[in-house]
């Protein structure tokens, strides 16, 4: 795997590669670019939800060490141009949004649009260019000042109003908006908890039957063989120049790794864990427990589970969206790797079954607590375990 990286506001790319009766749908980046094919899902509202309090309670501060978290530097991190450069250069991400807007201009023409977490203002510029009546671009970091200058440089000062501040604290000059657009997704879909901000804006300002873009997001899971990298990143701490540093190993195991997974590492099917309808869901729906059954497609070892997400814009003339899965074109989100304490030896057809509980950390809600329960009962391996992780 490649080394990990950081997440702004992706082109019609490949969609859902989860297993829930997928139908083949083709998505296109541009007329002059190649078409990427992938599996897309017709996904019902996920009913596998329960109280996630046990996961949050189990992952206490003493287990993962220290109080400094993403909440301490979240907005400051988005003040630096480097993170915006990375996101803008993510062709899957940025071209998807551009195509959604440019190829569906009828949705935006003469409409009032709210851009939540505007960053450099790129989504606002796209909307203004296709004829939006007005765009309100909210950005809390100091990048708002640069966005204001960018709007002026491109001649859209009469159409785009940049508002610097937190969505929960600012007032809009209008009572309602027709469309809310945002690139709110973090690593593991939910890291940084920006979804709550989008839902707050939806409930406060969106007109009845208004649009939220994107409107669907799903989290998926698969399992991989990853002996070499686990040895390098995790087992390394057992003996460092002859010294026992295994206490760090314990923490390293609890911190999911954001990295690029080679599709050849995949040992099992990919399974849908959770689908969220952003236009209808509540904040609490982002906390859930979902069962999974990952069936081995070959004889191999399993060292980690891998999570990724898919996003779709279902209100477009043609379905558009992208996947961050290991079988799709790479994005800056990469995938999220959760290493297992056990090395699972599986034969083709044997299953790893369990459940994943996901919830915002109670103390620092921009962090994500994950409780993973898994078991396998095969010819060469019989294991049952519960592990805890925190995205921070």
Active-site positions read 183, 192
CA distance 245 to 311: 40
Alpha helices in the chain (DSSP H): 53-58, 61-64, 74-77, 81-88, 91-102, 105-108, 122-129, 143-153, 195-205, 227-233, 246-254
Distance from C-alpha of 189 to C-alpha of 335, rounded to nearest angstrom? 10
> How many degrees, rounded to 5, is the angle at CA 213 between CA 306 and CA 275?
35
Burial grade of 260 (CB within 10 A; 0-12, 13-18, 19 or more)? middle
Distances from the Cα of 114 to the Cα of 67, 172, 215, 322, angstroms: 34, 9, 15, 22
Cis amide linkage into residue 282, ω under 30° from 0: no
Token pair belonging to 323: 């996947």
Count of other CB atoms within 10 angstroms of residue 223: 30
Is-contact 206 181, C-beta < 8 A? no
Strand partners, 386: 373
Q: Which two structure tokens, joined as six digits, stand for 333? A: 């989100």
Tell me the C-alpha to C-alpha distance, in Å, between residue 384 and each of 55, 305, 373: 17, 15, 8
């Amino acid at each position: 795997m490649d080394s990990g990286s950081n997440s702004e506001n992706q082109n019609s790319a490949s969609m859902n590669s989860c297993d829930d009766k997928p139908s083949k749908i083709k998505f296109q980046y541009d007329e002059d670019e190649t078409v990427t094919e992938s599996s897309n899902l017709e996904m019902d509202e996920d009913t596998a939800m329960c109280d996630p309090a046990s996961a949050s309670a189990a992952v206490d501060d003493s287990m993962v060490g220290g109080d400094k978290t993403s909440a301490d530097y979240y907005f400051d991190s988005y003040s630096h141009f480097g993170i915006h450069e990375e996101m803008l250069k993510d062709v899957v991400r940025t071209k998807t949004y551009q195509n959604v807007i440019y190829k569906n201009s009828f949705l935006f023409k003469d409409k009032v649009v709210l851009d939540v977490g505007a960053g450099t203002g790129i989504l606002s510029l796209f909307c203004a260019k296709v004829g939006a009546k007005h765009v309100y671009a909210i950005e809390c970091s100091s990048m708002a000042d640069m966005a204001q200058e960018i709007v002026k440089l491109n001649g859209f000062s009469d159409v785009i109003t940049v508002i610097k501040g937190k969505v929960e604290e600012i007032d809009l000059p209008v009572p309602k908006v027709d469309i809310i657009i945002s690139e709110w997704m973090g690593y593991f879909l939910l890291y940084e908890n920006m979804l709550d901000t989008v839902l707050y804006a939806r409930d406060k300002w969106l007109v009845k039957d208004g649009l939220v873009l994107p409107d669907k997001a799903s989290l998926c899971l698969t399992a991989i063989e990853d002996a070499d990298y686990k040895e390098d990143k995790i087992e390394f701490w057992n003996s460092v120049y002859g010294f026992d540093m295994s206490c760090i190993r314990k923490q390293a195991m609890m911190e999911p790794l954001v990295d690029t997974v080679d599709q050849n590492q995949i040992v099992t099917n990919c399974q849908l864990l959770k689908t969220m309808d952003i236009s209808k869901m509540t904040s609490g729906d982002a906390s859930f427990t979902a069962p999974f059954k990952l069936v081995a497609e070959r004889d191999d070892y399993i060292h980690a589970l891998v999570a990724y997400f898919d996003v779709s814009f279902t209100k477009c003339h043609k379905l558009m969206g992208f996947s961050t899965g290991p079988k799709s074109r790479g994005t800056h989100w990469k995938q999220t790797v959760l290493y297992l304490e056990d090395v699972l030896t599986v034969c083709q057809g044997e299953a790893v079954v369990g459940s994943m509980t996901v919830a915002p950390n109670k103390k620092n809600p921009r962090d994500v607590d994950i409780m993973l329960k898994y078991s396998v009962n095969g010819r060469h391996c019989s294991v049952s375990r519960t592990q805890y992780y925190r995205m921070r």
